[in-house]
A and B are shown apart, each in its own frame.
Chain A
Amino acid sequence: MCTRKALAVAALVLAASAGARAETPGLGKPATEGAKVYAQKCSACHGDNGRNGTAPGAGPLVGGQIDRIEAVKTIGNFYGYSTTVFDFIRRAMPYNEPRTLSNDEVYAVTAYLLALNKIIGENDVMDAQTLPKVKMPNRDNFIIRFPDRI
């Protein structure tokens, strides 16, 4: 019964989107929708304002310095791409019920976290066009380890 099958792309039902580009439709405002989603779905583990999470593994999401090799990496001090935040929330969060947020909610909470890190303004709207254009503070601090292997 089960043999190999040519795949109609339209029939692909896998939930999470891959790719550095945020091609997913939707939009999110940090100050209003994003704060609400964060309070309802994220703060229990990550704490108020992304700073004082107490759940194991749910480290801070905001601020901090890369001042030692074991420094805690946050969205503000380390991530090179804003789309990484969007992609991981969309595929993996909330930890206890991943892939239950709508695209609008994912954009909104991504915007909220970027605003908390003072990377965007509190009223900046994030969508498939604006999110990839956000330049992360740490963008230029990466070294490709083995370029000949790419």
Chain B
Amino acid sequence: MGATTPALQVPSRFEKHVVRTLSNPNNEFRNSHARTPHHLLNGTVTPNSLHFSINHSGLPDIDPDKHRLAIHGLVKQPMVYSLEALSRYPMVSRMAFVECGGNSAPMFSNEPIQATAQALHGLVSCAEWTGVKLSTLLEETGIDPKAKWFIAEGADSHALSRSVPMKKALDDAMIALYQNGERLMPGNGYPMRLLLPGYEGNMNVKFLRRIKLTEDPAMSMYEGRTYSQILPSGKAYRFYFLQEVKSFITHPSFGHSLQGPGFYEISGVAYSGAGRIAKVMISADGGRSYAEAALQAPVLPKAFTRFRMPWRWDGQPVVLQSRAWDEGGNVQPTRAEFVAVRGETKSPPPLLGFPNQHYNSLTSWAVDGKGEIKHVYA
């Protein structure tokens, strides 16, 4: 007989290498984050234990019975909600990716950094989120017509705050209470977070305790400084919000090696903050020719779509690359197009930081004659 069945199951001991990578493994007194191992996963759902997490001021330890969410400001009737109270409102579930604005920051490097899809793109994950739509709660509080923004605030040490247009509040913003069927993970905002499908991760305020409706944005530090991307001209983007259409190949990718010529499946993830993925094209010659990949159903808006393509490797060097289009006709820019507008760093940036944001160009993996894989620009 094998082991008896445990109350809370964990992956096989043979899967111990499938973990998040940490930016602050020695628990220094500063921010910390953990990246999703895309090259070791498949499908479209990120397991909760492997969902990426960034914490600028540590993880709060919140007693859900004591936590409250206040909605106030330019409303007709300010309200305070307990978790139990929120649980009695009509709920919805939806798939949504959450991506840090600084995901893929190493791709701004002037030369390709040799690293896995986890290190390059590990600050995006996708889950099924369940909760109460913000618009449902705003029906109860009422909205003063002067309200054009709301300011969301977390119960973390920093009281992290971000400004969000009311347009998003009345569209698909949600107070998320569950993640892939269970309560939110502490690193993903337990006991409640703001979910803004398709919008910059930092705006999806975790440990949400306050929503204030206002006429103007707060110009908080994270919107006024950290997530305002500098352009080559010296000017900077403000209120980027959208995580634009993007894809990358996870299999095969850096960290894998091909064991001789023959059949392989090329697959990866594609997503767009503007809607559904419409098409993913795959190139094996660095972008000179493309073929259309199969999209695994269901293809959901603002969520991971898994793309797949059967491939017979003849043993010759190739450069694999994916390029995605969304239903709005938006397309991933080529690297040359992207760098022309957004620039690149003067020297390779630190792999664990994200001094630059909102990279959505292509990722290319070069397979040599021995089946070894390198990260290249093509």
Contacts and interface: CB of A to CB of B under 8 A. Distances in A.
Given A69-B343, A84-B220, A92-B57, A6 B157 contact: no
Given A7-B72, A16-B161, A81-B224, A66 B230 contact: yes
B312 interface: no
A15 B218 CA distance: 16
B161 to A, nearest CB: 6
Contacts, number: 175
A87 B216 CA distance: 15
Contacts of A19: 151, 212, 214, 216, 218
A3 B30 contact: no
B105 to A, nearest CB: 9
A136 to B, nearest CB: 10
Interface stretch (B120-128, B234-242, B247-255, B296-304): B234-242
Contacts of A15: 159
Interface in A103-150: 141-146, 149-150
A39 interface: no
Nearest to B153: A18
Interface string B70-110: 11100001111111110010000000000000000000100
B65 interface: yes
Contacts of B70: 7, 12, 14
Contact of B225 (A16, A78, A149): A78
A31 to B, nearest CB: 25
Select the residue from B153, B157, B158, B236 with max chain A CB neighbours within 10 A: B236
Interface in B321-351: 342-346, 349
Contacts of B79: 4-7
Q: What's the dominant secondary structure at chain A's contact region?
A: loop
A36 interface: no
A141 B236 contact: yes
B134 to A, nearest CB: 15
Interface residues of A, number: 48
A57 interface: yes
Contacts of B355: 70
A95 B239 CA distance: 26
B230 A69 contact: yes
A22 to B, nearest CB: 11
Interface string B45-89: 000000000000100000001000011100001111111110010
Given A16-B159, A19-B218, A69-B232, A6 B237 contact: no
A150 B146 CA distance: 14
A147 B210 CA distance: 25
Contacts of B257: none
A95 B159 CA distance: 11
Contacts of A56: 28-30
Given A19-B151, A80-B238, A141-B236, A91 B159 contact: yes
B220 A87 contact: yes
Interface in A5-46: 5-9, 12, 14-16, 18-21
Contacts of A88: 220-221
Contact of B209 (A2, A14, A80): A14
Given A57-B30, A99-B159, A141-B236, A9 B78 contact: yes
Closest 9 CB pairs of A and B: A2-B82, A7-B78, A88-B221, A92-B158, A4-B85, A142-B238, A18-B151, A91-B159, A84-B224
28 contacts: A2-B83, A5-B80, A5-B81, A6-B78, A7-B71, A7-B79, A7-B80, A18-B161, A18-B210, A19-B151, A19-B214, A20-B216, A21-B216, A56-B30, A69-B229, A69-B343, A71-B230, A73-B230, A79-B225, A83-B219, A87-B221, A91-B158, A92-B57, A92-B158, A99-B159, A145-B238, A146-B242, A149-B165
Given A18-B218, A91-B161, A146-B241, 11 more contacts: A5-B80, A12-B78, A20-B217, A73-B226, A73-B228, A79-B225, A84-B221, A95-B157, A142-B228, A142-B236, A145-B239
Interface of A: 2-9, 12, 14-16, 18-21, 55-57, 66-71, 73, 78-81, 83-84, 87-88, 91-92, 95-96, 98-99, 141-146, 149-150
